[in-house]
Structure 1
Amino acid sequence: MTGSTADTPSRVAAAIYAGALRGAGADVSDEHPVGTDAELLGKLDDRSLDLMPAWSGELLGQLDPGATARSADDVYGQLNQALPQGVSAGDVTSVADKELVFVAQSLATSVGVDELAECARLPVGLPLVTIDEPDPDIAAALSAAGCEFGPLQKLDIQTAVAEVAAGRAVGLFAPLGVVADDSGLQGLADTGDVLRAEDLVPVFRTAALSRGLFQAMNKVAGELTTADLSTMSREVDGGADISTVAQRWLGEHSL
Protein backbone atom coordinates (compact mmCIF):
# COMPACT_ATOMS: atom_id res chain seq x y z
CA MET A 1 0.00 0.00 0.00
CA THR A 2 1.23 3.50 -0.82
CA GLY A 3 0.31 6.69 1.02
CA SER A 4 1.16 10.36 0.81
CA THR A 5 0.70 13.75 2.35
CA ALA A 6 -2.35 15.74 1.24
CA ASP A 7 -0.64 18.00 -1.33
CA THR A 8 -1.27 17.18 -4.98
CA PRO A 9 2.35 16.53 -6.07
CA SER A 10 2.77 13.95 -3.30
CA ARG A 11 -0.52 12.25 -4.17
CA VAL A 12 0.45 12.09 -7.85
CA ALA A 13 3.89 10.73 -6.99
CA ALA A 14 2.32 8.05 -4.79
CA ALA A 15 0.01 7.04 -7.65
CA ILE A 16 3.00 6.74 -9.96
CA TYR A 17 4.90 4.54 -7.52
CA ALA A 18 1.81 2.41 -6.96
CA GLY A 19 1.40 1.95 -10.72
CA ALA A 20 5.07 1.10 -11.21
CA LEU A 21 4.87 -1.56 -8.50
CA ARG A 22 1.67 -3.01 -9.98
CA GLY A 23 3.37 -3.14 -13.37
CA ALA A 24 6.13 -5.20 -11.78
CA GLY A 25 3.64 -7.69 -10.37
CA ALA A 26 2.90 -6.32 -6.91
CA ASP A 27 -0.57 -6.58 -5.40
CA VAL A 28 -1.06 -2.91 -4.48
CA SER A 29 -4.16 -1.91 -2.55
CA ASP A 30 -6.45 0.76 -3.99
CA GLU A 31 -6.59 2.31 -0.52
CA HIS A 32 -4.47 5.43 -0.17
CA PRO A 33 -3.78 6.68 3.36
CA VAL A 34 -3.19 10.42 3.58
CA GLY A 35 -1.45 12.02 6.55
CA THR A 36 1.55 13.92 7.78
CA ASP A 37 5.03 12.54 7.29
CA ALA A 38 5.07 11.51 10.95
CA GLU A 39 1.74 9.69 10.63
CA LEU A 40 2.87 7.90 7.49
CA LEU A 41 6.15 6.85 9.08
CA GLY A 42 4.09 5.40 11.92
CA LYS A 43 2.14 3.35 9.39
CA LEU A 44 5.38 2.11 7.87
CA ASP A 45 6.46 1.07 11.34
CA ASP A 46 3.25 -0.86 12.08
CA ARG A 47 3.31 -2.44 8.59
CA SER A 48 0.01 -0.94 7.44
CA LEU A 49 1.87 1.05 4.75
CA ASP A 50 4.68 0.04 2.43
CA LEU A 51 5.78 3.20 0.62
CA MET A 52 5.42 6.98 0.77
CA PRO A 53 6.98 9.72 -1.36
CA ALA A 54 8.73 12.40 0.70
CA TRP A 55 10.74 15.57 0.27
CA SER A 56 14.26 14.82 1.43
CA GLY A 57 15.07 18.04 3.26
CA GLU A 58 11.68 18.42 4.90
CA LEU A 59 11.67 14.85 6.20
CA LEU A 60 15.26 15.14 7.41
CA GLY A 61 14.37 18.31 9.31
CA GLN A 62 11.53 16.49 11.07
CA LEU A 63 13.61 13.44 11.97
CA ASP A 64 16.74 15.39 12.93
CA PRO A 65 16.05 19.09 13.61
CA GLY A 66 19.76 19.68 14.18
CA ALA A 67 20.82 18.34 10.78
CA THR A 68 23.10 20.74 8.95
CA ALA A 69 23.10 19.17 5.47
CA ARG A 70 22.25 21.47 2.58
CA SER A 71 23.39 19.83 -0.66
CA ALA A 72 21.28 17.13 -2.28
CA ASP A 73 23.86 14.38 -1.62
CA ASP A 74 24.42 15.39 2.00
CA VAL A 75 20.70 15.67 2.73
CA TYR A 76 20.09 12.22 1.24
CA GLY A 77 22.94 10.71 3.23
CA GLN A 78 21.79 12.19 6.53
CA LEU A 79 18.18 11.21 5.78
CA ASN A 80 19.16 7.58 5.38
CA GLN A 81 20.93 7.72 8.73
CA ALA A 82 17.94 9.36 10.43
CA LEU A 83 15.22 7.01 9.17
CA PRO A 84 13.83 4.50 11.69
CA GLN A 85 15.11 0.95 11.66
CA GLY A 86 13.44 -1.11 8.94
CA VAL A 87 12.70 1.94 6.79
CA SER A 88 14.84 2.97 3.83
CA ALA A 89 15.02 5.65 1.14
CA GLY A 90 15.09 4.64 -2.51
CA ASP A 91 16.81 6.44 -5.35
CA VAL A 92 16.34 10.20 -5.39
CA THR A 93 14.32 11.47 -8.35
CA SER A 94 15.24 14.56 -10.32
CA VAL A 95 12.08 16.24 -9.00
CA ALA A 96 13.16 19.20 -6.89
CA ASP A 97 10.92 21.48 -4.85
CA LYS A 98 13.65 23.37 -3.04
CA GLU A 99 12.71 26.91 -2.14
CA LEU A 100 14.32 29.38 -4.51
CA VAL A 101 14.59 33.14 -4.59
CA PHE A 102 12.59 34.45 -7.54
CA VAL A 103 12.87 37.85 -9.17
CA ALA A 104 11.17 39.47 -12.15
CA GLN A 105 12.73 38.30 -15.41
CA SER A 106 13.03 41.92 -16.47
CA LEU A 107 14.92 42.76 -13.26
CA ALA A 108 17.21 39.76 -13.61
CA THR A 109 18.09 40.84 -17.13
CA SER A 110 18.64 44.49 -16.26
CA VAL A 111 21.05 43.81 -13.38
CA GLY A 112 22.60 40.66 -14.86
CA VAL A 113 21.74 38.13 -12.16
CA ASP A 114 20.80 34.47 -12.52
CA GLU A 115 22.40 32.93 -9.43
CA LEU A 116 21.76 33.50 -5.75
CA ALA A 117 25.46 34.25 -5.28
CA GLU A 118 24.89 37.40 -7.36
CA CYS A 119 22.02 38.70 -5.23
CA ALA A 120 24.07 41.72 -4.13
CA ARG A 121 23.37 43.16 -7.60
CA LEU A 122 19.67 43.42 -6.77
CA PRO A 123 18.25 46.64 -5.32
CA VAL A 124 18.80 46.73 -1.56
CA GLY A 125 15.75 46.38 0.66
CA LEU A 126 13.28 44.74 -1.70
CA PRO A 127 10.71 42.91 0.46
CA LEU A 128 11.04 39.13 0.56
CA VAL A 129 7.58 37.66 0.03
CA THR A 130 6.46 34.09 0.67
CA ILE A 131 3.19 32.17 0.56
CA ASP A 132 4.09 30.13 3.63
CA GLU A 133 4.88 31.11 7.18
CA PRO A 134 8.19 33.03 7.07
CA ASP A 135 11.16 30.99 8.30
CA PRO A 136 13.67 33.18 10.17
CA ASP A 137 16.41 30.58 9.62
CA ILE A 138 16.05 30.92 5.85
CA ALA A 139 16.12 34.70 6.09
CA ALA A 140 19.30 34.46 8.17
CA ALA A 141 20.91 32.10 5.64
CA LEU A 142 20.12 34.48 2.81
CA SER A 143 21.50 37.42 4.77
CA ALA A 144 24.70 35.47 5.49
CA ALA A 145 25.00 34.86 1.74
CA GLY A 146 25.03 38.63 1.16
CA CYS A 147 21.40 39.09 0.13
CA GLU A 148 20.19 42.40 1.58
CA PHE A 149 16.45 41.88 1.34
CA GLY A 150 13.78 43.71 3.26
CA PRO A 151 11.42 42.14 5.82
CA LEU A 152 9.71 38.82 5.15
CA GLN A 153 6.05 39.15 4.23
CA LYS A 154 3.44 36.39 3.81
CA LEU A 155 1.03 36.97 0.92
CA ASP A 156 -1.44 34.88 -1.05
CA ILE A 157 -0.07 33.23 -4.19
CA GLN A 158 -1.55 35.62 -6.74
CA THR A 159 -0.44 38.76 -4.89
CA ALA A 160 3.02 37.41 -4.17
CA VAL A 161 3.68 36.41 -7.79
CA ALA A 162 2.30 39.75 -9.04
CA GLU A 163 4.52 41.75 -6.68
CA VAL A 164 7.62 39.83 -7.75
CA ALA A 165 6.75 39.99 -11.46
CA ALA A 166 6.37 43.76 -11.15
CA GLY A 167 9.84 44.08 -9.62
CA ARG A 168 8.49 45.40 -6.31
CA ALA A 169 9.66 42.37 -4.30
CA VAL A 170 11.67 39.19 -4.46
CA GLY A 171 9.90 35.91 -3.78
CA LEU A 172 10.84 32.85 -1.76
CA PHE A 173 8.83 30.01 -3.27
CA ALA A 174 8.99 26.26 -3.57
CA PRO A 175 8.45 26.29 -7.34
CA LEU A 176 6.53 23.04 -7.91
CA GLY A 177 2.96 23.95 -8.77
CA VAL A 178 3.42 27.59 -7.74
CA VAL A 179 5.44 29.31 -10.45
CA ALA A 180 4.22 28.79 -14.01
CA ASP A 181 6.48 29.13 -17.04
CA ASP A 182 4.64 32.26 -18.17
CA SER A 183 4.66 33.99 -14.77
CA GLY A 184 7.40 36.45 -15.68
CA LEU A 185 9.57 35.20 -12.81
CA GLN A 186 13.08 33.81 -12.82
CA GLY A 187 14.48 31.59 -10.09
CA LEU A 188 18.04 32.29 -8.96
CA ALA A 189 20.12 29.11 -9.07
CA ASP A 190 21.41 28.15 -5.62
CA THR A 191 24.71 26.69 -6.77
CA GLY A 192 26.27 27.35 -3.37
CA ASP A 193 23.64 25.33 -1.46
CA VAL A 194 22.60 28.26 0.71
CA LEU A 195 19.19 26.64 1.19
CA ARG A 196 18.50 22.97 1.95
CA ALA A 197 17.77 20.57 -0.90
CA GLU A 198 14.21 19.26 -1.28
CA ASP A 199 14.24 16.28 -3.62
CA LEU A 200 11.45 13.77 -4.11
CA VAL A 201 12.45 10.37 -2.75
CA PRO A 202 10.50 7.17 -2.08
CA VAL A 203 10.60 6.03 1.55
CA PHE A 204 9.63 2.41 2.01
CA ARG A 205 9.42 -0.47 4.44
CA THR A 206 12.63 -2.35 3.67
CA ALA A 207 11.16 -5.83 4.04
CA ALA A 208 8.16 -5.04 1.83
CA LEU A 209 9.94 -4.97 -1.53
CA SER A 210 11.54 -7.86 -3.36
CA ARG A 211 14.55 -7.17 -5.53
CA GLY A 212 12.34 -6.88 -8.60
CA LEU A 213 9.94 -4.46 -6.92
CA PHE A 214 12.88 -2.45 -5.56
CA GLN A 215 14.21 -2.09 -9.10
CA ALA A 216 10.77 -1.09 -10.40
CA MET A 217 10.49 1.59 -7.74
CA ASN A 218 13.88 3.00 -8.59
CA LYS A 219 13.14 3.10 -12.32
CA VAL A 220 10.77 5.96 -11.54
CA ALA A 221 13.73 8.01 -10.32
CA GLY A 222 15.35 7.80 -13.75
CA GLU A 223 12.26 9.09 -15.54
CA LEU A 224 10.24 11.48 -13.38
CA THR A 225 11.15 15.16 -13.70
CA THR A 226 10.04 18.34 -11.98
CA ALA A 227 8.28 19.44 -15.18
CA ASP A 228 6.44 16.10 -15.37
CA LEU A 229 5.16 16.25 -11.81
CA SER A 230 4.28 19.92 -12.09
CA THR A 231 2.24 19.32 -15.26
CA MET A 232 0.43 16.32 -13.80
CA SER A 233 -0.32 18.14 -10.56
CA ARG A 234 -1.90 21.03 -12.45
CA GLU A 235 -4.03 18.56 -14.41
CA VAL A 236 -5.26 16.91 -11.21
CA ASP A 237 -5.95 20.28 -9.59
CA GLY A 238 -7.95 21.11 -12.71
CA GLY A 239 -10.19 18.08 -12.20
CA ALA A 240 -8.39 15.23 -13.99
CA ASP A 241 -8.53 11.76 -12.43
CA ILE A 242 -5.27 11.12 -10.61
CA SER A 243 -5.08 7.43 -11.56
CA THR A 244 -5.64 8.22 -15.23
CA VAL A 245 -2.95 10.90 -15.19
CA ALA A 246 -0.45 8.60 -13.45
CA GLN A 247 -1.19 5.65 -15.75
CA ARG A 248 -0.71 7.79 -18.84
CA TRP A 249 2.71 8.89 -17.59
CA LEU A 250 3.68 5.32 -16.71
CA GLY A 251 2.69 4.17 -20.20
CA GLU A 252 4.65 6.96 -21.86
CA HIS A 253 7.73 5.85 -19.93
CA SER A 254 7.23 2.10 -20.36
CA LEU A 255 6.71 1.58 -16.64
Structure 2
Amino acid sequence: MVLPASLRMLARVLVVATATLAVSCGNSDQGARITVGAGDSAESSVLAEIYAGALARVGARTSVTPHLGSRSDYLGALDAGRIDLIGEHNGALLAYLDPAATDRAPDVEKVPSALSRSLPEGLVISDAADGTDLRPRVVLSAEAATRDNLRTIGDLAPRCETLTVGVAPIPDLITLPPVLEQVAGCHFAARVSFADPGALRKALLDGEVQAGLLTGPPAVVPGSTEGLTVLSDADYAVRTENVLPLFRKGVLDDRQIKKLNYVAGELTTDDLAKLIREVRDAGANPADVARKWLDDHSL
Protein backbone atom coordinates (compact mmCIF):
# COMPACT_ATOMS: atom_id res chain seq x y z
CA MET A 1 0.00 0.00 0.00
CA VAL A 2 1.33 3.44 -0.93
CA LEU A 3 1.02 6.02 1.84
CA PRO A 4 -0.26 9.49 1.04
CA ALA A 5 2.46 12.15 0.77
CA SER A 6 1.37 13.77 4.06
CA LEU A 7 1.77 10.49 5.97
CA ARG A 8 5.15 9.78 4.37
CA MET A 9 6.35 13.22 5.50
CA LEU A 10 5.07 12.60 9.04
CA ALA A 11 6.93 9.27 9.17
CA ARG A 12 10.20 10.94 8.18
CA VAL A 13 9.72 13.60 10.85
CA LEU A 14 9.12 10.93 13.49
CA VAL A 15 12.26 9.01 12.47
CA VAL A 16 14.41 12.15 12.72
CA ALA A 17 12.87 13.09 16.07
CA THR A 18 13.47 9.58 17.44
CA ALA A 19 17.10 9.60 16.31
CA THR A 20 17.66 13.03 17.83
CA LEU A 21 16.16 11.88 21.12
CA ALA A 22 18.40 8.80 21.14
CA VAL A 23 21.54 10.90 20.64
CA SER A 24 20.42 13.31 23.33
CA CYS A 25 19.80 10.48 25.80
CA GLY A 26 23.18 8.95 25.00
CA ASN A 27 24.97 12.21 25.75
CA SER A 28 22.98 12.56 28.96
CA ASP A 29 24.09 9.08 30.04
CA GLN A 30 27.72 10.13 29.67
CA GLY A 31 27.19 13.02 32.04
CA ALA A 32 29.09 16.29 32.10
CA ARG A 33 32.47 16.51 30.43
CA ILE A 34 35.41 15.68 32.71
CA THR A 35 38.33 18.04 32.13
CA VAL A 36 41.71 16.60 33.09
CA GLY A 37 44.47 19.14 33.66
CA ALA A 38 48.22 18.93 33.16
CA GLY A 39 51.06 21.06 34.44
CA ASP A 40 54.13 21.90 32.40
CA SER A 41 56.11 18.67 32.90
CA ALA A 42 56.14 15.68 30.56
CA GLU A 43 55.08 13.47 33.46
CA SER A 44 52.02 15.60 34.15
CA SER A 45 51.05 15.54 30.47
CA VAL A 46 51.38 11.75 30.27
CA LEU A 47 49.36 11.21 33.45
CA ALA A 48 46.62 13.54 32.20
CA GLU A 49 46.28 11.57 28.99
CA ILE A 50 46.30 8.23 30.83
CA TYR A 51 43.55 9.35 33.20
CA ALA A 52 41.48 10.97 30.46
CA GLY A 53 41.84 7.92 28.22
CA ALA A 54 40.96 5.49 31.01
CA LEU A 55 37.82 7.45 31.93
CA ALA A 56 36.79 7.67 28.28
CA ARG A 57 36.91 3.87 28.10
CA VAL A 58 34.13 3.63 30.66
CA GLY A 59 31.96 6.05 28.71
CA ALA A 60 32.95 9.43 30.12
CA ARG A 61 33.31 12.47 27.89
CA THR A 62 36.81 13.79 28.61
CA SER A 63 39.18 16.50 27.49
CA VAL A 64 42.70 17.51 28.52
CA THR A 65 43.80 21.05 29.33
CA PRO A 66 47.62 21.17 29.10
CA HIS A 67 50.31 23.64 30.19
CA LEU A 68 48.61 24.88 33.35
CA GLY A 69 51.89 25.92 34.94
CA SER A 70 53.11 25.22 38.45
CA ARG A 71 51.41 23.37 41.31
CA SER A 72 49.84 26.56 42.65
CA ASP A 73 48.48 27.36 39.18
CA TYR A 74 46.84 24.01 38.51
CA LEU A 75 45.52 23.64 42.04
CA GLY A 76 43.94 27.05 41.57
CA ALA A 77 42.35 25.84 38.34
CA LEU A 78 41.05 22.77 40.16
CA ASP A 79 39.63 24.84 42.99
CA ALA A 80 37.95 27.23 40.54
CA GLY A 81 36.37 24.37 38.59
CA ARG A 82 38.24 25.06 35.35
CA ILE A 83 39.53 21.49 35.53
CA ASP A 84 38.13 18.47 37.33
CA LEU A 85 41.13 16.18 37.85
CA ILE A 86 44.93 16.23 37.76
CA GLY A 87 47.75 13.77 38.41
CA GLU A 88 49.93 14.40 41.48
CA HIS A 89 52.46 12.83 43.84
CA ASN A 90 51.16 12.04 47.30
CA GLY A 91 54.31 13.11 49.17
CA ALA A 92 54.88 16.32 47.25
CA LEU A 93 51.23 17.30 47.55
CA LEU A 94 51.28 16.67 51.31
CA ALA A 95 54.41 18.79 51.70
CA TYR A 96 52.80 21.60 49.71
CA LEU A 97 49.51 21.56 51.63
CA ASP A 98 51.00 20.90 55.08
CA PRO A 99 54.72 21.78 55.30
CA ALA A 100 54.73 20.73 58.97
CA ALA A 101 53.58 17.17 58.23
CA THR A 102 56.04 14.56 59.50
CA ASP A 103 54.60 11.35 58.01
CA ARG A 104 56.87 9.82 55.37
CA ALA A 105 55.84 6.20 54.78
CA PRO A 106 53.13 4.98 52.35
CA ASP A 107 51.27 2.94 55.00
CA VAL A 108 47.57 3.80 55.06
CA GLU A 109 47.79 5.51 58.44
CA LYS A 110 50.83 7.56 57.42
CA VAL A 111 51.07 9.71 54.25
CA PRO A 112 47.65 8.72 52.80
CA SER A 113 45.82 9.66 56.01
CA ALA A 114 47.82 12.87 56.49
CA LEU A 115 47.16 13.87 52.89
CA SER A 116 43.42 13.22 53.15
CA ARG A 117 43.27 15.42 56.25
CA SER A 118 45.16 18.23 54.54
CA LEU A 119 43.07 18.39 51.36
CA PRO A 120 40.98 21.53 50.87
CA GLU A 121 37.23 21.10 51.14
CA GLY A 122 35.80 19.72 47.90
CA LEU A 123 38.93 17.85 46.75
CA VAL A 124 39.51 14.10 47.10
CA ILE A 125 42.00 11.45 46.00
CA SER A 126 41.71 7.85 44.91
CA ASP A 127 44.27 5.03 45.14
CA ALA A 128 47.95 5.86 44.75
CA ALA A 129 49.99 3.80 42.29
CA ASP A 130 52.12 1.83 44.74
CA GLY A 131 54.33 0.63 41.91
CA THR A 132 55.52 4.15 41.15
CA ASP A 133 58.43 5.20 43.34
CA LEU A 134 59.24 8.78 42.35
CA ARG A 135 61.28 9.57 45.46
CA PRO A 136 64.60 11.40 45.29
CA ARG A 137 67.57 9.01 45.39
CA VAL A 138 70.74 9.33 47.47
CA VAL A 139 73.78 8.16 45.50
CA LEU A 140 77.47 7.57 46.18
CA SER A 141 80.32 6.54 43.95
CA ALA A 142 80.40 2.74 43.80
CA GLU A 143 83.98 2.87 45.08
CA ALA A 144 83.03 4.86 48.18
CA ALA A 145 79.96 2.72 48.89
CA THR A 146 82.02 -0.48 48.72
CA ARG A 147 84.94 0.92 50.69
CA ASP A 148 82.75 2.13 53.56
CA ASN A 149 80.16 -0.68 53.31
CA LEU A 150 77.30 1.75 52.73
CA ARG A 151 74.12 0.28 51.25
CA THR A 152 71.27 2.23 52.84
CA ILE A 153 70.54 5.82 53.80
CA GLY A 154 70.52 4.60 57.40
CA ASP A 155 74.13 3.44 56.94
CA LEU A 156 75.06 6.88 55.65
CA ALA A 157 73.23 8.95 58.29
CA PRO A 158 76.01 8.97 60.96
CA ARG A 159 78.46 10.35 58.37
CA CYS A 160 76.27 13.03 56.79
CA GLU A 161 77.61 15.90 58.91
CA THR A 162 81.07 15.39 57.38
CA LEU A 163 79.90 15.20 53.76
CA THR A 164 79.17 17.64 50.98
CA VAL A 165 76.13 16.63 48.96
CA GLY A 166 75.56 17.48 45.33
CA VAL A 167 71.95 17.95 44.20
CA ALA A 168 70.79 17.51 40.60
CA PRO A 169 67.29 17.63 39.12
CA ILE A 170 65.72 14.71 37.29
CA PRO A 171 63.96 16.57 34.46
CA ASP A 172 60.37 16.32 33.21
CA LEU A 173 58.84 15.25 36.54
CA ILE A 174 56.13 16.89 38.61
CA THR A 175 57.91 19.42 40.84
CA LEU A 176 58.94 18.47 44.36
CA PRO A 177 58.83 21.13 47.10
CA PRO A 178 62.28 22.16 48.38
CA VAL A 179 61.60 20.48 51.73
CA LEU A 180 61.92 17.11 50.00
CA GLU A 181 65.57 17.81 49.32
CA GLN A 182 66.18 17.14 53.02
CA VAL A 183 66.79 13.54 54.03
CA ALA A 184 65.46 12.65 57.49
CA GLY A 185 68.27 11.93 59.96
CA CYS A 186 70.94 13.07 57.49
CA HIS A 187 72.19 16.66 57.82
CA PHE A 188 74.92 17.29 55.27
CA ALA A 189 77.79 19.67 55.99
CA ALA A 190 77.33 21.55 52.70
CA ARG A 191 75.35 21.44 49.49
CA VAL A 192 76.33 22.09 45.87
CA SER A 193 73.78 22.37 43.05
CA PHE A 194 74.40 20.80 39.64
CA ALA A 195 72.55 21.50 36.41
CA ASP A 196 71.85 17.87 35.53
CA PRO A 197 72.49 14.27 36.64
CA GLY A 198 75.46 13.93 34.30
CA ALA A 199 77.30 16.80 35.99
CA LEU A 200 76.57 15.35 39.43
CA ARG A 201 77.76 11.91 38.35
CA LYS A 202 81.08 13.37 37.16
CA ALA A 203 81.53 15.31 40.40
CA LEU A 204 80.96 12.16 42.46
CA LEU A 205 83.36 10.09 40.38
CA ASP A 206 85.97 12.87 40.56
CA GLY A 207 85.57 13.20 44.32
CA GLU A 208 84.37 16.83 44.19
CA VAL A 209 81.38 15.88 46.37
CA GLN A 210 81.01 12.84 48.62
CA ALA A 211 77.27 12.19 48.22
CA GLY A 212 74.60 13.00 45.68
CA LEU A 213 70.86 13.56 45.65
CA LEU A 214 68.86 13.03 42.47
CA THR A 215 65.37 14.56 42.65
CA GLY A 216 63.68 11.51 41.15
CA PRO A 217 64.22 7.99 39.83
CA PRO A 218 67.34 7.52 37.67
CA ALA A 219 65.30 5.55 35.10
CA VAL A 220 64.07 8.85 33.68
CA VAL A 221 67.68 9.64 32.66
CA PRO A 222 69.38 6.39 31.60
CA GLY A 223 73.07 6.25 32.45
CA SER A 224 72.78 8.84 35.21
CA THR A 225 73.98 6.38 37.89
CA GLU A 226 76.61 4.48 35.91
CA GLY A 227 79.50 3.88 38.28
CA LEU A 228 77.36 4.97 41.23
CA THR A 229 75.49 3.14 43.99
CA VAL A 230 71.89 4.11 44.75
CA LEU A 231 71.32 3.74 48.49
CA SER A 232 68.19 1.85 49.47
CA ASP A 233 65.59 3.49 51.69
CA ALA A 234 63.21 0.91 53.15
CA ASP A 235 62.64 3.14 56.20
CA TYR A 236 61.54 6.15 54.10
CA ALA A 237 64.13 8.69 55.20
CA VAL A 238 62.92 10.31 51.97
CA ARG A 239 59.14 10.72 51.95
CA THR A 240 57.14 8.41 49.69
CA GLU A 241 56.32 9.78 46.23
CA ASN A 242 53.58 7.79 44.50
CA VAL A 243 51.40 8.95 41.62
CA LEU A 244 47.71 9.49 42.30
CA PRO A 245 44.74 11.41 40.85
CA LEU A 246 43.42 14.47 42.67
CA PHE A 247 39.89 15.50 41.71
CA ARG A 248 36.84 17.50 42.66
CA LYS A 249 34.39 15.73 44.94
CA GLY A 250 31.28 14.46 43.14
CA VAL A 251 32.77 14.69 39.65
CA LEU A 252 33.45 10.95 39.26
CA ASP A 253 31.05 8.09 39.86
CA ASP A 254 31.98 4.76 41.45
CA ARG A 255 32.67 3.07 38.12
CA GLN A 256 35.01 5.86 37.04
CA ILE A 257 36.89 5.84 40.34
CA LYS A 258 37.24 2.06 40.06
CA LYS A 259 38.78 2.52 36.61
CA LEU A 260 41.36 4.94 37.99
CA ASN A 261 42.15 2.42 40.72
CA TYR A 262 42.81 -0.19 38.03
CA VAL A 263 45.25 2.26 36.44
CA ALA A 264 46.94 2.70 39.82
CA GLY A 265 47.34 -1.05 40.11
CA GLU A 266 49.17 -1.30 36.78
CA LEU A 267 51.37 1.81 36.60
CA THR A 268 55.04 1.39 37.58
CA THR A 269 58.13 3.55 37.86
CA ASP A 270 59.67 1.93 34.79
CA ASP A 271 56.46 2.40 32.78
CA LEU A 272 56.24 6.07 33.64
CA ALA A 273 59.94 6.68 33.00
CA LYS A 274 59.65 5.05 29.57
CA LEU A 275 56.60 7.14 28.63
CA ILE A 276 58.33 10.33 29.76
CA ARG A 277 61.40 9.49 27.69
CA GLU A 278 59.26 8.81 24.62
CA VAL A 279 57.65 12.25 24.93
CA ARG A 280 60.88 14.07 25.78
CA ASP A 281 63.44 12.30 23.61
CA ALA A 282 61.40 11.01 20.67
CA GLY A 283 58.87 13.86 20.52
CA ALA A 284 55.95 11.46 20.87
CA ASN A 285 52.45 12.80 21.47
CA PRO A 286 51.46 12.20 25.13
CA ALA A 287 48.00 11.08 24.01
CA ASP A 288 49.50 8.44 21.72
CA VAL A 289 51.87 6.97 24.32
CA ALA A 290 49.07 6.96 26.91
CA ARG A 291 46.70 5.18 24.51
CA LYS A 292 49.30 2.49 23.78
CA TRP A 293 50.01 2.00 27.48
CA LEU A 294 46.29 1.59 28.21
CA ASP A 295 45.99 -0.90 25.35
CA ASP A 296 49.04 -2.88 26.50
CA HIS A 297 47.54 -3.20 29.99
CA SER A 298 44.02 -3.99 28.77
CA LEU A 299 42.65 -0.88 30.41
TM-score greater than 0.5 by the shorter chain: yes
The answer to whether the Cα contact below 8 Å between 1:50 and 1:208 also exists between their aligned partners in 2 is yes
Give the alignment partner of residue 89 of structure 1, picking from 125, 129, 139. Answer: 125
| Whole-Å separation in 2 of the counterparts to 1:151 and 1:225 | 34
Matched residue type, 2:166: V
Which structure's relative contact order is higher, taking Cα pairs within 8 Å and 6+ residues apart? 1
Contact 1:102 1:171 in 2 (8 A): yes
Shift of 1:32: 2.9
Kindly provide the CA deviation profile for residues 121-176 of structure 1, in whole angstroms up to 9, marking residues without a partner as x.
Answer: 879844200125995885573436xxxx4410001112112223455432111233
In structure 1, what is the Cα distance between the partners aligned to 2:114 and 2:177?
Answer: 25
Instruction: State which drifts further: 149-158 or 163-172.
Output: 163-172
Distance 1:3 1:189, change over 3 A: same
- State the identity %: 32
Deviations 1:32-69 (A, max 9, x none): 35222222222222222111111112111111121111
Distance of aligned partners of 1:150 and 1:142 in 2 relative to their CA distance in 1, 3 Å threshold: same
Distance 1:246 1:172 in 2: 29
Aligned mate of 2:168, from 91, 108, 131? 131
Q: Please give the secondary structure, in 1, of the residue aligned with 2:186.
A: helix
Structure 1 residue 215: Cα displacement: 0.6
Counterpart check, 1:241 vs 2:285: yes
Superposition RMSD in Å:
2.6
CA distance in 2 between counterparts of 1:136 and 1:243 reads 32
Q: Give structure 1 stretches of 5+ with no counterpart.
A: none
- Residue in structure 1 matched with residue 6 of structure 2 by the alignment: none
Matched to 2:291, the amino acid is: Q
How many residues align? The count is 251
Matched with 1:200 is 243
**In structure 2, what is the equivalent of residue 108 of structure 1?**
145
* Equivalence for 2:213: 172
Distance 2:277 2:207 in 1: 26
Mapped partners of 1:122, 1:64: distance in 2 = 30
Counterpart residue type for residue 109 of structure 1: T
TM-score (norm 1): 0.87
Q: TM-score if structure 2 supplies the norm length?
A: 0.75
Mark the structure with the bigger radius of gyration: 2
Q: Deviations over 1:50-106 (max 9, x none)?
A: 111111121111111211111123122111111111211110112121112111234
Q: Residue 35 of structure 1 aligns to which amino acid in structure 2?
A: G
Q: Is the 8 A contact 1:4 1:32 kept in 2?
A: yes
* TM-aligned CA distance change 1:106 to 1:23, over 3 Å: farther
